[in-house]
Structure 1
Amino acid sequence: MEPGGHHLEGARVSDRLISASFNQDCTSVAVGTESGYILFSLSSVEKLDRIHECSDIPEVYIVERLFSSSLVVVVSLQMPRRMNVYHFKKGTEICNYSYSSNILSVRLNRQRLIVCLEGAIYIHNIKDMKLLKTISDTPSNPTGLCALSINHSNSYLAYPGSSSIGEILVYDANNLNIVTMIPAHDSPLAAMAFNSTGCKLASASEKGTVIRVFSVPEGERLCEFRRGMKRYVNISCLTFSMDSRFLSASSNTETVHIFKLEQLSQCSPEESPSWSGYMGKMFMAASNYLPTQVSDIMNQDRAFATVRLNFSGQRNVCMLAVIQKLPRLLVASSEGYLYIYNLDPQDGGECVLIKKHRLFATDKLDERRDSNFSYGETPTYAATVARKSIVPSTSTVPGYSEDGGARKGEIIPEHEFAVGPVRLDDENEFPPVSILNN
Structure 2
Amino acid sequence: MANQSSPYPILCASFNQDNSGFAISTKDGFKIIDSNTGRLCYDRAVGAFIIVEMLYSSSLLAIVGAGEQPSLSPRRLCLFNTTTGAPLREMNFLTSILAVRLNRKRLVVVLQEKTYIYDSNSLSMLDTIDTVPNLKGLCAFSPSLEGCFLALPASTAKGAVLVYNVMELQLHCEIDAHRSPLAAIALSSNGKYIATASEQGTIIRIHLVSEATKSYSFRRGTCSSTIFSLSFAPSLQLPDILVATSSSGSVHIFSLGFETNQRTKKSGSFLGSILPYYVNDALDPAHHHVLHNAVSAGVRSYAVVRKVDNVADSSSSEIASCRNMPSLSTARTSLHGVWSVNSTLWQSFQVMQKPHDTFNGRTSIKRSCCNT
TM-score, normalised to structure 2, is 0.80
Equivalent residue pairs, number: 323
* C-alpha contact (below 8 Å) 1:19/1:62 kept by paired residues: yes
Over residues 25-48 of structure 1, what are the superposed CA-to-partner deviations in whole Å (9 max), with x where a residue is unaligned?
A: 11101111111111011223xxx2
2:94 counterpart letter in structure 1: S
* Aligned residue number for residue 238 of structure 1: 230
Task: Give the Cα separation in 1 of the matches to 2:137 and 2:280.
Answer: 33
Which of 204, 210, 219 is the matching residue for 1:217? 210
* Aligned residue number for residue 316 of structure 2: none
SS where residue 80 of structure 1 aligns? coil
Is 1:51 paired with 2:41? Answer: yes
SS where residue 311 of structure 1 aligns? coil
1:139 counterpart letter in structure 2: V
Over residues 183-221 of structure 1, what are the superposed CA-to-partner deviations in whole Å (9 max), with x where a residue is unaligned?
A: 111111111111121011111111111111101121010
Over residues 94-128 of structure 1, what are the superposed CA-to-partner deviations in whole Å (9 max), with x where a residue is unaligned?
A: 21111121111111122211111111111111122
Task: Give the Cα separation in 2 of the matches to 1:149 and 1:280.
Answer: 42
1:247 counterpart letter in structure 2: L
Q: In the TM superposition, what is the alpha-carbon distance from 1:343 to its structure 2 partner?
A: 2.3
* Aligned residue number for residue 123 of structure 1: 117
Task: Give the Cα separation in 2 of the matches to 1:11 and 1:341.
Answer: 18
* C-alpha contact (below 8 Å) 1:109/1:155 kept by paired residues: no
Q: In the TM superposition, what is the alpha-carbon distance from 1:255 to its structure 2 partner?
A: 1.1
* Aligned residue number for residue 321 of structure 2: none
Q: In the TM superposition, what is the alpha-carbon distance from 1:322 to its structure 2 partner?
A: 2.6
2:39 counterpart letter in structure 1: D
2:289 counterpart letter in structure 1: A
Task: Give the Cα separation in 2 of the matches to 1:72 and 1:280.
Answer: 57
Task: Give the Cα separation in 1 of the matches to 2:16 and 2:201.
Answer: 25
Which of 218, 239, 247 is the matching residue for 2:242? 247
Listed as ranges, the matches of 1:124-163 within 5 Å are 124-136=118-130, 138-163=131-156
Task: Give the Cα separation in 1 of the matches to 2:165 and 2:180.
Answer: 25
* C-alpha contact (below 8 Å) 1:43/1:323 kept by paired residues: no
Is 1:111 paired with 2:105? Answer: yes
- Please, which runs of 5 or more residues in structure 1 have no aligned partner? 1-9, 288-294, 352-438
Bigger fraction of residues in helix = 1
**Residues 1:178 and 1:280: Cα distance change in structure 2 (over 3 Å):** farther
**Residues 1:315 and 1:199: Cα distance change in structure 2 (over 3 Å):** same
* C-alpha contact (below 8 Å) 2:272/2:280 kept by paired residues: no
Over residues 6-58 of structure 1, what are the superposed CA-to-partner deviations in whole Å (9 max), with x where a residue is unaligned?
A: xxxx99964222111111111101111111111011223xxx211111112x1
1:228 counterpart letter in structure 2: G
Task: Give the Cα separation in 1 of the matches to 2:144 and 2:295.
Answer: 34
**Residues 1:70 and 1:349: Cα distance change in structure 2 (over 3 Å):** farther
* Aligned residue number for residue 342 of structure 1: 348
2:342 counterpart letter in structure 1: Y
Task: Give the Cα separation in 2 of the matches to 1:80 and 1:283.
Answer: 58
Task: Give the Cα separation in 2 of the matches to 1:249 and 1:232.
Answer: 14
TM-score, normalised to structure 1, is 0.68
1:259 counterpart letter in structure 2: F
Q: In the TM superposition, what is the alpha-carbon distance from 1:274 to its structure 2 partner?
A: 7.6
Which of 11, 31, 34 is the matching residue for 1:38? 31
SS where residue 190 of structure 1 aligns? strand
Listed as ranges, the matches of 1:268-347 within 5 Å are 269=260, 271-272=261-262, 276=266, 278=268, 282=272, 286-287=276-277, 295=278, 304-308=288-292, 309-322=294-307, 327-334=326-333, 335=339, 336-338=341-343, 339-346=345-352
* Aligned residue number for residue 252 of structure 2: 257
SS where residue 197 of structure 1 aligns? coil
SS where residue 141 of structure 1 aligns? coil
Task: Give the Cα separation in 1 of the matches to 2:201 and 2:221.
Answer: 8
Over residues 349-370 of structure 1, what are the superposed CA-to-partner deviations in whole Å (9 max), with x where a residue is unaligned?
A: 469xxxxxxxxxxxxxxxxxxx
Which of 172, 185, 210 is the matching residue for 1:179? 172
Task: Give the Cα separation in 2 of the matches to 1:284 and 1:221.
Answer: 25
Q: In the TM superposition, what is the alpha-carbon distance from 1:298 to its structure 2 partner?
A: 5.9
